[in-house]
């Protein structure tokens, strides 16, 4: 809740200044604004920096640069698995240095296609000045995702002119190159300032301008800059009503660019971000090879993308479908679980044994990442279900407790070994919340392959789920558990709140209650359809409005 505390401190500081100088408002007015904002569930919209993923997509759409240049930037700060949380994204000297170098590389590549950039203007025929100016005006508007001011145009113009006179530059394309280079380092490109329209709706609650809304929609649903149609709608100021916004959202979800969103979200939510560096013990798992890692990820991404964008689209299908996507290699990895013959390197849809596999929950990628190098991990798997699917927060082990994972005992099953942990009173309080859920997944070994036996003993995949809203009970195997999770209100609300965090780039706060209610209601009304949930995310007050940026009083110094 730090963000909140800081916000209130800031307001208190503003009030203190005004109290001393008598320059602005009064506390009564502030209180009215607070209650209006609270009753409407409207909070501040934080300034957001583009993630590497968004940067890559944006230069692809802005300049046709498909080299993923931002991959060299330092990694985003990860908060509970998500890399796009505005409050956590910090800047550093290294980041700023690399922004400069990435901008140099991107702009150098961009002027390789000069005529494409100039859109018909020919410096030789139309004059260098004319072409430079028209480029600056059109490019800056797209790069900044809003109309640019005369002073901004002049600034770029001055830079262009400087390049034309520099002894080491001097060519027309050099001037264009430095303009692009500067634009890519501007905060108007690197950040998304969404400050709201000038006229308040009520109190200090303001809607967004159509330009801001175009950008909000675009980064939320496509993880990239607006397309021509969104820009046109912004130009026409046609992104003001809920209906206009919903219509755009529905259109956007039919576009191929929505695939990025689905893949990006599920990679992060299902904790697959680091799956590429998973490394397994080949003496325990002879069928493991590193090339499987990327196939596992591709399977889950393709499956979730298909279910949501082309398939039936419900949360239930994601959790329980008895089909998946494999290629020949992956089919042979899954063995009998895949009920069809698959040839070739392309992933394609196949039916799987419904008694063994259920949606993404039992996919090899998920089972392998939530496991150790040489054995399954009931702890990791139980923790995954608790935290990612049920939104519970599990505490870490207490200070200075000797934590001893079971040794590999060739006479016992993993479950038998982990049950000994549960018997230890110091651990039981927390581990009874995780381990029994993990036991339900014991048919899947440390690389996610099905097993009926371990160390000569039959697998026992029963476990008791406790302390949940509506999933408590005994389960035998993950297929049974998946069915229960799919119909759990706790899970449905958790999924909605995970999407809220990912889409809005921030945590859910106490002031978001009515927006969360709006979202849960819409999700339920749609039969828990994810695509409808995404449209609903554009209809909440938390998305549509913000609190106006408090105008700082013109302090004359010494107020504090």
Binding residues for other proteins restricted to 422-461, rule: CB under 8 A: 429-430
DSSP state of 510: G
Residue nearer to other proteins on the CB measure, 105 or 480:
105
Segment contacting other proteins by CB under 8 A, of 91-99, 117-125, 316-324, 329-337? 91-99
Q: Please tell me the distance from the alpha carbon of residue 535 to that of residue 493, in angstroms, as a whole number.
A: 16
* 232: contact with other proteins by CB under 8 A: no
DSSP string, 127-192: -HHHHHHHHHHHHHHHHHTSPPPHHHHHHHHHHHHHHHHSTT--SHHHHHHHHHHHHTTSHHHHEE
**C-alpha dihedral over 448, 450, 455, 458, to 10 degrees?**
140
DSSP string, 275-289: GGG----TTT-TT--
Residue nearer to other proteins on the CB measure, 148 or 347:
148
Instruction: Determine contact, residues 500/482, Cβ cutoff 8 Å.
Output: no
Residues numbered 238 to 277 that lie near other proteins (CB under 8 A) are 273-274, 276-277
Instruction: Determine contact, residues 95/74, Cβ cutoff 8 Å.
Output: yes
Among 122, 126, 166, 464, binds other proteins (CB under 8 A): 166
Q: Are strands 453-454 and 457-458 parallel, antiparallel or unpaired?
A: antiparallel
* 403: contact with other proteins by CB under 8 A: yes
* 284: contact with other proteins by CB under 8 A: yes
* 79: contact with other proteins by CB under 8 A: yes
Q: Please tell me the distance from the alpha carbon of residue 135 to that of residue 60, in angstroms, as a whole number.
A: 18
Residue nearer to other proteins on the CB measure, 57 or 273:
273
Segment contacting other proteins by CB under 8 A, of 101-109, 202-210, 308-316, 437-445? 101-109
Site string for other proteins, 531-560 (x = CB under 8 A): ------------------xx----------
Closest CA relative to residue 384, chosen from 14, 81, 127: 81
* 30: contact with other proteins by CB under 8 A: no
Residues numbered 308 to 347 that lie near other proteins (CB under 8 A) are none
The 10 Å Cβ neighbour count of residue 157 is: 18
The 10 Å Cβ neighbour count of residue 65 is: 17
Among 10, 31, 32, 130, binds other proteins (CB under 8 A): 10
CB of 144 to other proteins, least distance (A): 9
* 12: contact with other proteins by CB under 8 A: no
Residue nearer to other proteins on the CB measure, 167 or 345:
167
Instruction: Determine contact, residues 417/409, Cβ cutoff 8 Å.
Output: yes
Q: Please tell me the distance from the alpha carbon of residue 213 to that of residue 194, in angstroms, as a whole number.
A: 8
Q: Please tell me the distance from the alpha carbon of residue 14 to that of residue 326, in angstroms, as a whole number.
A: 59
Segment contacting other proteins by CB under 8 A, of 176-184, 246-254, 295-303, 327-335? 176-184
* 411: contact with other proteins by CB under 8 A: no
Among 28, 395, 410, 557, binds other proteins (CB under 8 A): 395
Segment contacting other proteins by CB under 8 A, of 113-121, 315-323, 326-334, 390-398? 390-398
Instruction: Determine contact, residues 503/220, Cβ cutoff 8 Å.
Output: yes
Closest CA relative to residue 86, chosen from 136, 51, 42: 51
Q: Please tell me the distance from the alpha carbon of residue 126 to that of residue 121, in angstroms, as a whole number.
A: 6
DSSP state of 373: S
Q: Please tell me the distance from the alpha carbon of residue 525 to that of residue 527, in angstroms, as a whole number.
A: 6
Among 115, 150, 199, 399, binds other proteins (CB under 8 A): 399
Residue nearer to other proteins on the CB measure, 28 or 395:
395
CB of 410 to other proteins, least distance (A): 13
CB of 383 to other proteins, least distance (A): 11
Size of the site for other proteins (CB under 8 A): 90
Instruction: Determine contact, residues 42/547, Cβ cutoff 8 Å.
Output: yes
CB of 208 to other proteins, least distance (A): 14
Segment contacting other proteins by CB under 8 A, of 166-174, 252-260, 314-322, 535-543? 166-174
Among 243, 400, 452, 554, binds other proteins (CB under 8 A): 400
Among 182, 258, 271, 440, binds other proteins (CB under 8 A): 182
Among 178, 385, 434, 459, binds other proteins (CB under 8 A): 178
CB of 61 to other proteins, least distance (A): 21
Which is it for the CA torsion 170, 172, 176, 177, positive or negative? negative
Instruction: Determine contact, residues 302/330, Cβ cutoff 8 Å.
Output: no
* 27: contact with other proteins by CB under 8 A: no
* 130: contact with other proteins by CB under 8 A: no
Residue nearer to other proteins on the CB measure, 355 or 555:
555
Among 18, 42, 43, 46, binds other proteins (CB under 8 A): 46
Among 31, 32, 47, 510, binds other proteins (CB under 8 A): 47
Residues numbered 493 to 512 that lie near other proteins (CB under 8 A) are 507
Segment contacting other proteins by CB under 8 A, of 27-35, 70-78, 349-357, 456-464? 70-78
Instruction: Determine contact, residues 214/227, Cβ cutoff 8 Å.
Output: no
Contacts of 449 (CB under 8 A, 6+ apart): 285, 287, 333, 334, 335, 364
Closest CA relative to residue 3, chosen from 79, 90, 88: 88
Closest CA relative to residue 65, chosen from 13, 110, 5: 110
* 55: contact with other proteins by CB under 8 A: no
CB of 5 to other proteins, least distance (A): 8
Residue nearer to other proteins on the CB measure, 162 or 474:
162
* 181: contact with other proteins by CB under 8 A: yes
C-alpha separations of 217 from 228, 231, 243, 461 in Å: 13, 11, 13, 44
Among 34, 65, 105, 460, binds other proteins (CB under 8 A): 105
């Amino acid at each position: 809740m730090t963000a909140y505390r800081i916000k209130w401190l800031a307001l208190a500081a503003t009030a203190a200044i005004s109290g001393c100088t008598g320059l602005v408002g009064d506390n009564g007015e502030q209180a009215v604004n607070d209650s209006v904002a609270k009753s409407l569930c409207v909070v501040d919209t934080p300034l957001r920096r583009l993630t590497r993923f968004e940067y890559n997509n944006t230069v692809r759409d802005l300049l046709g640069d498909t080299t993923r240049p931002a991959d060299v930037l330092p990694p985003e700060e990860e908060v509970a698995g998500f890399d796009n949380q505005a409050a956590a994204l910090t800047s550093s000297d290294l980041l700023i240095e690399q922004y400069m170098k990435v901008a140099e590389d991107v702009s150098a590549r961009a002027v390789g296609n000069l005529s494409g950039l100039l859109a018909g203007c020919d410096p030789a025929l139309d004059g260098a000045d004319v072409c430079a100016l028209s480029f600056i005006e059109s490019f800056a508007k797209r790069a900044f995702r809003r109309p640019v001011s005369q002073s901004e145009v002049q600034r770029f113009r001055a830079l262009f002119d400087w390049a034309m006179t520099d002894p080491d530059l001097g060519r027309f394309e050099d001037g264009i190159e430095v303009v692009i280079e500067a634009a890519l380092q501007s905060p108007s490109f690197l950040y998304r300032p969404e400050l709201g329209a000038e006229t308040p709706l009520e109190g200090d609650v303001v809607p967004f301008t159509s330009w801001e809304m175009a950008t909000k929609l675009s980064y939320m649903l496509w993880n990239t800059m607006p397309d021509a149609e969104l820009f046109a709608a912004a130009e026409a100021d046609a992104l003001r009503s809920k209906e206009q916004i919903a219509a755009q959202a529905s259109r956007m979800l039919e576009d191929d660019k929505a695939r990025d969103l689905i893949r990006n979200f599920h990679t992060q939510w299902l904790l697959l971000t680091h799956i590429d560096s998973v490394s397994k013990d080949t003496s325990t798992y002879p069928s493991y090879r590193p090339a499987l890692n990327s196939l596992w990820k591709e399977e889950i991404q393709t499956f979730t993308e298909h279910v949501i964008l082309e398939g039936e689209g419900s949360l239930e299908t994601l959790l329980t479908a008895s089909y998946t996507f494999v290629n020949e290699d992956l089919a042979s990895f899954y063995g009998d679980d895949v009920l069809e013959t698959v040839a070739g390197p392309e992933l394609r849809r196949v039916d799987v044994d419904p008694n063994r596999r259920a949606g993404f929950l039992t996919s090899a990628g998920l089972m392998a990442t939530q496991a150790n190098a040489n054995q399954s991990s009931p702890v990791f798997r139980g923790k995954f279900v608790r935290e990612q699917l049920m939104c519970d927060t599990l505490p870490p082990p207490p200070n200075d407790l000797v934590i001893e994972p079971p040794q590999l005992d060739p006479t016992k099953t993993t479950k038998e070994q982990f049950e000994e942990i549960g018997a230890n009173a110091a651990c039981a309080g927390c581990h009874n919340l995780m381990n029994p859920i993990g036991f339900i997944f014991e048919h899947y070994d440390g690389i996610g392959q099905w097993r009926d036996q371990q160390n000569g003993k039959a697998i026992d995949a029963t476990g008791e789920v406790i302390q949940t809203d509506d999933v408590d009970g005994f389960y035998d195997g993950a297929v049974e558990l998946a069915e229960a999770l799919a119909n759990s209100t706790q899970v449905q609300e958790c999924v909605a709140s995970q999407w809220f965090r990912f889409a809005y780039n921030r945590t859910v706060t106490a002031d978001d209650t009515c927006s969360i209610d709006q979202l849960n209601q819409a999700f339920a009304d749609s039969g828990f359809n994810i695509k409808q949930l995404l449209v609903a995310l554009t209809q909440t007050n938390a998305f549509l409005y913000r609190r106006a940026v408090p105008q700082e009083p013109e302090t004359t110094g010494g107020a504090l």
